[in-house]
Amino acid sequence: MIRRPPRSTLSSSSAASDVYKRQVESILNTAPAREEIPAELLEVADIVCPNQPELSLLTGGMPTDTVDQAAAAAHELLRRGPSTVLCTLGKEGCLLVKSDGSEFRAKATHHVPTDTAGAGDCFLGAFAHFYSQGAMEMEQAILLANKASGLSVTRRGTQLSFPFISELEIDSEP
Residues forming the active site: 121
Angle at Cα 145 formed by Cα 59 and Cα 56, nearest 5°? 10
Distances (CA, A) of 30 to 1, 21, 34, 136: 6, 22, 8, 24
Instruction: Give Dmax over CA atoms of the chain in angstroms.
Output: 44
Q: Looking at residue 67, what DSSP letter applies? A: H
| Contact between 103 and 140 (Cβ < 8 Å) | no
